[in-house]
Amino acid sequence: MGKDITLTASDGFKLGGYRADPAGSPKGAIVVIQEIFGVNHHIRSVCDRLAGEGYVAIAPSIFDRSQPNFQSGYSPDEVTNARKFIANPDWPAMLRDTQAAIDAVKDVGAVGIIGFCLGGSIAYMAAAKLSGLSAAVGYYGGAIVRFADDKPQAPMQLHFGEKDVGIPLTDVETIKSKRPDVEVFIYPGAQHGFHCDERASYDKASADIAWPRSLAFFAKHMKK
């Protein structure tokens, strides 16, 4: 359903990515921002699912500046290796690359963004700092609490797992208190990465609630 693409950021940097197009006329477009595991099989499958829902879906490879074409699985060793990308994240560069993805699909119509883990934090920052978004959804973004003083310029929905060892509920409560304008959902018993059906932390019951909730949010805010 999808294909590999090349994007060009505002500073001229060329990065890879993945794009999936719906069978019929698109409802709009959704930018999908990866976890620390790159634009891997799971992120591509998210794009394919969104295309199946009628959206053009595009996932920029935001690690290409440091390691082109990086993709990873979820074994303990792979997780340890992937963490190197967030030791000292270049947020401005990742936002430039995210903006390149937004710009690449804005001709389709309304553009939304969804991100997971690192991508959840970037989705929040994109809603606050980038242009051209109609809606934003973030899953378990650990850095969101650090940027919660920045007001999203697009409607924002956030999803967190109750048992996420990397994101204490005190952080989620801080976000809720600072950003009453943002929809925040907490999933009982769910861990970090609960949406990814390729991870040991996958929680089908939570994912089966969060995903339709995300789609309904996009449908509400991305009407033609």
CATH number of 2-221: 3.40.50.1820
Of 47, 97, 117, 196, the catalytic one is 117
Task: Using the predicted structure, report yes or no on whether residue 37 has a pLDDT greater than 80.
Answer: yes
Helix axes of 91-105 and 118-129: crossing angle, nearest 10 degrees: 70
Any catalytic annotation for residue 150? no
Confidence of residue 223 (pLDDT cuts 50, 70, 90): confident
Of 21, 64, 164, 203, the catalytic one is 164
Number of other CB atoms surrounding residue 82 within 10 Å: 22
Q: How far apart are CA 55 and CA 57, in angstroms?
A: 6
Sketch the domain layout of the chain as residue ranges: 2-221
Task: Using the predicted structure, report yes or no on whether residue 49 has a pLDDT greater than 70.
Answer: yes
Any catalytic annotation for residue 195? no
Number of other CB atoms surrounding residue 81 within 10 Å: 14
Q: Which helix (H) or strand (E) holds 112?
A: strand 111-116
79-121: pLDDT as tens digits: 999 999 988 999 999 999 999 999 999 999 999 999 999 999 9
Q: Among 146, 203, 201, 206, which residue's Cα sits nearest to residue 179?
A: 146
Task: Using the predicted structure, report yes or no on whether residue 224 has a pLDDT greater than 80.
Answer: no
Predicted structure pTM score: 0.98
Q: Which residues contact 149 (CB under 8 A, 6 or more apart)?
A: 178
Q: Taking residues 141-150, what's their average pLDDT?
A: 97
Any catalytic annotation for residue 164? yes
